[in-house]
């Protein structure tokens, strides 16, 4: 029997608490039970202080925290960002206990599973398609910057397939093997770039050098939703740091890795493995249901 850990790397808003609560209930169930082949633990990193009493102790939220505390480890890192929390989840500390890591952002809603364990279905697809990283399809994923290849995150599967092998997968809900997670962790540099920008563009090129047989996939037959309230200031984002500041941090990390580690992250970003600039530019193959035909 294998074992995995589900990680929510940042939580601090009541609306996101509802999403996380629903996801844990739906994906992991009411107790620390086992799926048919994989047992799951869970850790939730919280950045909001206990002085925010509405978030922690309102009658509605207190019930959610009671359940989440019984099902997951709650780590209170006040004021910390996603990259800082992920950096604390060191592969050296968890690799002996877990074979899989599932990173699930707090604004991503999982579907209600009606046919057994959704995570087990994803692990089966990851394994039989020989992937190191698997994401579900993300409705409402980003389409910014005129980069049409990003549309693969929202593209339904082709007939007789369940999705795509893709050289670009945006980080919303990533299921990773432990070697794949180690490669992602090696890219985390919160002291230089705390904003979680750049990793989608660096990861594939970097992982090719670090993870034997590296392949990423999007299981388009399973749809998670990116939920953000775009009506208010900041378009529903928790971090309203200026885009210019975030890109400056990306450039700073690329210089840092080149100077101190001899790793050219800028090459990974500037030379994405794309066959064209359209919606299918990142597609390398199709994913098939298990068992494979």
Please tell me the predicted confidence (pLDDT) of residue 239: 72
**CA dist., res. 26 & res. 68, Å (int):** 12
Q: How big is the chain by its Cα radius of gyration, in Å?
A: 18
**Which residues in the chain come in under a pLDDT of 50?**
34-35, 231-237
Write phi, then psi, for 67 (nearest 5 degrees): -65, -50
Please tell me the predicted confidence (pLDDT) of residue 17: 98
- Cβ–Cβ under 8 Å, residues 101 and 176: yes
> Tens digits of per-residue pLDDT, 50-95?
999 999 999 999 999 999 999 999 999 999 999 999 999 999 999 9
State how far the alpha carbon of 124 is from the alpha carbons of 13, 51, 229, in Å.
Answer: 33, 43, 33
**CA dist., res. 101 & res. 84, Å (int):** 17
N-to-C CA span, the chain = 25
- Cβ–Cβ under 8 Å, residues 89 and 10: no
Please tell me the predicted confidence (pLDDT) of residue 234: 40
- 211, 216, 150, 212: which is closest to 186 by C-alpha? 211
**CA dist., res. 160 & res. 288, Å (int):** 7
> Tens digits of per-residue pLDDT, 34-48?
445 789 999 999 999
Which stretches does DSSP call E strand in 16-72?
38-46
Please tell me the predicted confidence (pLDDT) of residue 236: 47
∠ at Cα 288 (100, 213), nearest 5°? 50
Cβ density class 81-114: b for 16+ within 10 Å, e for less: bbbbbbbbbebeebeeebebbbbbbbbbbbeeee
**CA dist., res. 291 & res. 38, Å (int):** 18
Nearby residues of 246 by Cβ (< 8 Å), 6 or more positions away: 195, 197
- Cβ–Cβ under 8 Å, residues 24 and 68: yes
Please tell me the predicted confidence (pLDDT) of residue 228: 76
Please tell me the predicted confidence (pLDDT) of residue 285: 97
């Amino acid at each position: 029997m294998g074992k995995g850990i589900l990680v929510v790397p940042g939580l601090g808003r009541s609306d996101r608490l509802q999403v996380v609560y629903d996801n844990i209930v739906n994906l992991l169930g009411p107790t620390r039970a086992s799926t048919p082949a994989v047992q799951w633990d869970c850790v939730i990193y919280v950045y909001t202080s206990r002085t925010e009493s509405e978030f922690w102790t309102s009658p509605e939220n207190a019930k959610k925290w009671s359940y989440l505390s019984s099902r997951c480890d709650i780590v209170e890192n006040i004021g910390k960002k996603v990259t800082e929390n992920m950096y604390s989840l060191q592969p050296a500390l968890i690799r002996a206990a877990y074979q899989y890591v599932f990173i699930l952002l707090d604004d991503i809603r999982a579907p209600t599973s009606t046919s057994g364990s959704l995570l087990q279905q994803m692990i089966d697809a990851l394994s039989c398609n020989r992937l190191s990283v698997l994401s579900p399809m993300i409705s409402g994923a980003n389409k910014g910057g005129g980069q049409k290849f990003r549309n693969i995150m929202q593209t339904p599967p082709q007939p007789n397939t369940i999705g795509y092998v893709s050289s670009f997968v945006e980080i919303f809900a990533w299921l990773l093997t432990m070697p794949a997670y180690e490669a992602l962790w090696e890219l985390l540099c919160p002291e230089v770039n705390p904003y979680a920008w750049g990793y989608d563009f660096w990861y594939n090129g970097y992982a090719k050098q670090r993870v034997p047989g590296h392949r990423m996939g999007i299981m388009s037959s399973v749809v998670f939703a990116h939920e953000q309230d775009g009506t208010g200031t900041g378009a529903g984002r928790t971090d309203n740091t200026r885009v210019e500041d975030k890109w400056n941090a990306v450039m700073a990390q690329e210089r840092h890795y080149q100077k101190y580690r001899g790793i050219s992250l800028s090459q990974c970003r500037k030379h994405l493995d794309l066959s064209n600039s359209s919606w299918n530019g990142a597609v390398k193959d199709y994913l098939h249901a298990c068992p494979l035909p």
